[in-house]
Amino acid sequence: MNIFNNQHRGFTLLEILLVVAAIAILAGIVIVAINPAKQLADTRNSQRRSDVNTILNAVYQYMLDNNGTIPASIPANDTCATTATNEVCKTGGACTGLVDLSVITANQKYVVSVPTDPTGSTTNGAGYHIAKSANGRVTVCAPDAEQAATITVTR
């Protein structure tokens, strides 16, 4: 007498299709809940906040070493993000029409290179803007911030 004759082996096609459908529905719910586009934009904005602080810290370290003298190339106006000529030049690029901060990258004393916007600008601009006010306060901002974020630091 063979005891294995009445037992089923494996899964039916219907059972497999139901499991695959359930997994697909759960995966869809998880992807919508995670919202990868928002997460990526938040990550880029975090990088922008870090870069803005890096540029401003390098400028202030330069000022400390030079008796409070602000780099001469920084334009004197109060509108950081809205003025195109306030954009910082990338290290090693042609800086015509841009703010040349090579004094903070010289000999890698204050910063190795000027940080660039995470979206990857194709021009010589770094994607960050800088300005100084009439009272000597320096502002660095990221005008390309995503999700209506305002990223600006003033000291």
Percent of the chain with pLDDT over 90: 61
Residue 31 has pLDDT above 60, yes or no: yes
- Give per-residue pLDDT as tens, 68-116: 999 999 998 867 777 777 899 987 668 888 899 999 998 889 999 999 9
Query: What is the residue-wise DSSP string for 30-67?
Result: HHHHH-HHHHHHHHHHHHHHHHHHHHHHHHHHHHHHTT
CA 21 to CA 61: how far, in whole Å?
59
Domain boundaries defined on the chain: 34-154
